[in-house]
Structure formats: C-alpha cells, structure tokens
Structure 1
Amino acid sequence: MGAVDLLGGGLDSLLGGDIGGSPAMGVGLGGAPVGMAAGLGGAPAVGGGLGDLFDLGGGVGMATGAYVPPKAVWLPAMKAKGLEISGTFARRGGAIHMDVSLNNKAMSVMTDFAIQFNKNSFGLAPAAPLQVLTPLSPNQTVEVSLPLSTNGPVMKMEPLNNLQVAVKNNIDVFYFSCQYPISMLFVEDGRMDRQLFLATWKDIPSDSEAQFQIKDCHLSADAVCNKLQGSNVFTVARRTADAQELLYLSVKLTNGIWVLTELRVQSANPNHTMSVRCRAPEVSQYVCQSFELILRN
C-alpha cells in the first residue's frame, strides 16, 4: 500500500488554514511544544466536520492491562557457578520493574546479593537495592521485583533496548545482557492533543517516516485501541476511509520523546500497515516491535 498522507490535504481546511505553511512547530525532549504554530494553540475547539472525521467514538471500552513479556533465562547456571537468573520487565502503577527469579542450582548457600547496570540508552538504573532478605539455599528459588528509575547515566546501546547487568553474590560477580520492550517506557500522560498531533505530524519531515507491517493480527479496530491503551498507547483520533479504519496514536517515552503513529486496520485483512513519525527515528522500529507484542498477547 502506498504511503498516502491521509492527514494532509482536506484536513487543513477543517482546521482553518494551512498548517503546512505555518511556522515550524517542534516538541522538545522534555515534551513541551516549542515554537507552536500560530493559531493552533489558541484556536477554539474545532467542532462539526473535524469532530466527525476524527471520531473518537466507536464504542471503545475499558483498556486491558499492560503487556508483560514472559520470563526468559538471562543467566544460565553453568555460566554463573550455579546461579540461574530469569526475568522480565513490567510497568505497574507508572513505574518500571525488573521482575527476576534467582535460582540456586549450586551445592552451597548464596548470600550478599547486589545488582548494577551499565550505562544504557534510556538511563535505566536500579531505584533500590536488590532485596534478597534470606540466604538462598541449594535448590531454592526466590522472586524479586526490583524498581527501576530512568535517572541513570545514558549511553546509546546497540540494539537500542539492550541492558548490560552485573549481579554480585558471596561467590562471584556475574554479567549478562537482556533486552526490554520499549513499551516499558511509554508514560501515562502520552495522549497528545488532536490539533497538536496534526501539526506535529506535518512538521516532522515525511522522509523520516517509517512504515511497517503488523502481520496476522486478527483484532477489530476497537480491540486494537483497547489493547494498546492498556500499555499507554493513546488513540488521539480515528476515522474510516476505503473500508479501513485509520487509527492515529500517540506515545510519549520516559525521556520526553513523542512517537506519532497511523495504524490502518482492515477487517478483512489481518495485516495492518503502521506509519511512524518521530524526531528520534531510530526509536520507530522498537515501537513497532512493542505494538506487535502488545497486540499478539
């Protein structure tokens, strides 16, 4: 399907003026609009035509829960003198958690646990010590939920969502890498105003737009909205065109980067086209990966 700018053309007139010719409007890394185009921020609420075209109705119900990946083995026992570490990431109550299982497959008791992260793309860092309150006996497993902050040192990783971790106990220090879904970084105040969305979409150069296919997704447009909203992907607007639902979605990351998405959902076709515009285009593919994981689980 060709990359048709469905937000362009006719919508300009509905907003009263050509947004494309307005002064450039950006969103700073802190999330605040920068140099907003005249007549957008202070314009009265647009009713009538735009409200009908950008219909937020459609019977969208309560959002489902946030996506949590299944636990994976991050550190096999054979590489850590009998300590096996499995884990996943979850976003609960507006905070990121690393949920880990520590399994002692050695013959001796393990104590004095501690954890440290290397610099990473989004500044993830432990917000508290690794709390293993009792010695870990042979063949014992303990579950720990480690709260994370995003105030740590930042260094761009490859891949972008890679996390390098060191875990210490009374036996040795062990190292492993794991990857977190970018959806853990989707914040709760990521719903962008409709007019700001429209202006920002047009202000981001079209040549930085990335297109992806989400395949084998047998969900209605309403179900897609519900599932995504559970993980802080917000439906700014939606409309129907050519037997497909066009969903306009906004996401804000913990570092203030906005990601704008158009998702085309066809009831007769389980393959959906996703167009992404973002001022940090390297984020786009990871956002698409998160959308796929959320919608398939």
Structure 2
Amino acid sequence: MDLLGGGLDSLVGQSFIPSPVPATSAPSPTPAVVSSGLNDLFDLSMRIGMVPGGYVAPKAVWLPAVKAKSLEISGIFTHHQGHIYMEMTFTNKSLQHMTDFAIQFNNNRFGVIPSTPLAIPTPLVPNQSIDGSLLLNTLGPFMKIEPLNNLQVAVKNNTDVFYFSCLIPLNVLFVEDSKMECQVFLAIWKDIPNENELQFQIKGCHLNADTVFSKLQNNNVDTIAKTNVEGQDILYQSLKLTNGIWILAKLCSPARKPQLHVVAKCRAPNVSQYIFQVYNSVLKN
C-alpha cells in the first residue's frame, strides 16, 4: 500500500513545496520552502533531556496454569535501541520437571517472528520460575488479523503444545526513523482526507509541553514543530510503524487545563484508533 503517494504533486505551487516521500522509508532531507510566517512556526529549537526508557506496559499473565497443564507464562514487550523483545516468565506449578521448550508465532499484521530460538534453562523444576528474553524481528509473513496488534503464540514443552494470544503495545512497533521535514509534514497532512482524521481527549493529564515532548520522543514519536497560540502549546508530530505506515498528529495543550487534545491522521484510518491507546498510556505513566 502506497501510504504517502498519489496526491503530493498537486500541492506544488502553494505556500510550500513538498518533496517526494517513499512509502516505507524516512523522507530525505529537503530545504525548507515555507512562507507566510511558517518558518517561525516550524523553528523547533528546543533541546529537551530525554526521559530514560520508553513506556513498558505492566506484566500480564498470557497463559494461565489451569489452561496449560500447570505451566504459567506471563510477559511484557519492550523496545530497546531499535530492537523488540518479548520478556517472559515461565513458572512450573506442576509436580514434574518441564523441558524441551519451543515457541512459534502465527502470521500477523506486522510480520513479527522470533529472531532466535527460545532459550529456557531446563529442567524447569516444580515451583520454579525462570525469566527469558526473546529477540523479535518484523521479517515474517503478514496476515490481516483483528485487533491489528494481536499476536497468536504456540508454546511447546515435554508435556504438550499450548496456545495463547496477547496484544503487542503499539509503541514497541514505532521505528526510530520517523522524522520528516516540516513542509513534507504539511503536504501529507493536507493530502490525507478529512474523513481519515480521528480526534480524542486525554483527560487528567497535568503535563507541560516539554514533558509531553520528552515522553513521546522517548517512544519514537518525533516532534516536527512546536508553537504557542493564545497560550495553548501545539506540537506537530510524526511516527512510523514497522510495516511502513505513517501517522501524523497534532497535540494541543490548553493553558491551565488538565487535558490534552490530539488529532491524528493516517492513510490507513483503522490504525489511528490505536494511537489514542499509545498516547494515553505513555503520557499517564
């Protein structure tokens, strides 16, 4: 799917000149050609210290022991230095040793597969818990599935094969190269149909614009520009998923109000609804 093409050429000759943007790679640097005061709007001079570590969802029990002959698996997903990990805890609640562990994923929306075999020190003796970290990549086959971040997993040991599903927090699927030039951002924003726009409120959020910038930047959401209109801070942001889909966002922080207003636009409108979950989780933790 060409997410950014077919329409940018028609914008040439307006107050800015967009550059061609590949569908699956970051835009090439282009000289800014912005008039009508937009140079000031897109002068992002702030340099804010990064918050250490991206957001990690709480650990969840993915496979209860009652459904897996006394094997319990809990876990989380993390993103660190460009790599995605599936961090799991295996607990043996049976009266026998467990050995010969292996794992396999069903085809999914993002082509997520293990990069290495599952390495669990065995035997896993009764009442013992062992932590394991599985490196993942997105080079596997794609398949349409709902919800789009659903991952179906099969785990084998010496007793049987067990199945479970879990949700990959979408922020671990954000890539590092989502920065784009301001005039390209403007062109794409205008070119995406209004019916693809999704608006939502994040209530009970007492963060200033600098903290919002840092939290989102640390989860690979790039801020293209920052401005202030009548006391309201506005951030223009871009992010890209591992399957090449871009999402653009405008985040408004009303003065003296504990809430944020976010407008998201994407060529694949069904993706935008998941952005609320990411923004809400990242900014409230």
TM-score (ref. length: structure 2): 0.89
Q: Is the 8 Å Cα contact of residues 127 and 147 (structure 1) preserved in structure 2?
A: yes
* 3-state SS, counterpart of residue 195 of structure 1: helix
The one of 242, 246, 263 aligned to 2:230: 242
One-letter amino acid matched to 1:118: N
Aligned pairs, how many? 275
Equivalent residues of 2:30, 2:181 under 8 A apart: no
What's the counterpart of residue 82 of structure 1? 70
- Tell me whether 207-216 or 219-228 shows the greater mean CA deviation: 207-216
CA–CA distance in structure 2, aligned partners of residues 267 and 164 of structure 1: 44
Matches within 5 A, 1:68-107: 68-107=56-95
Mapped contact 2:111–2:141 kept (Cα < 8 A): yes
Q: 2:161 pairs with 142, 165, 173, which one?
A: 173
1:26, 1:203 within 8 Å by CA — same for their partners in 2?
A: no
Q: Does 1:279 align with 2:270?
A: no
Aligned equivalent of 1:270, options 228, 237, 258: 258
Cα distance between partner residues in 2 of 1:284 and 1:62: 25
Checking the alignment, whether the CA contact within 8 Å between 1:65 and 1:227 is kept in structure 2 is no
Paired position in structure 2 for 1:159: 147
Q: What is the CA-CA distance between 1:64 and the residue it aligns to?
A: 3.6
RMSD between aligned alpha carbons? 2.4
Q: Name the amino acid aligned to 1:18.
A: Q
Change (3 A) 1:168 1:272: same
Contact kept, 8 Å, 1:26 with 1:200, in 2: the verdict is no
Percent identity, aligned pairs only, is 55
Which residue in the other structure is 2:4 paired with?
A: none
What are the within-5 Å matches in structure 2 for residues 133-152 of structure 1? Answer: 133-152=121-140
Q: Relative to 1, partners in 2 of residues 1:268 and 1:296: Cα closer, same or farther, differing over 3 Å?
A: same
1:67 aligns with 2:67: no
- Within 5 Å, give how 1:1-297 maps onto structure 2: 17-18=13-14, 27-31=21-25, 43=31, 49-58=37-46, 60-297=48-285
CA offsets 1:30-83 (integer angstroms, 9 cap, x no match): 1366xx9xxxx8655659933322242356333442111111001110110010
Residue 26 of structure 1 deviates from its aligned partner by: 6.9
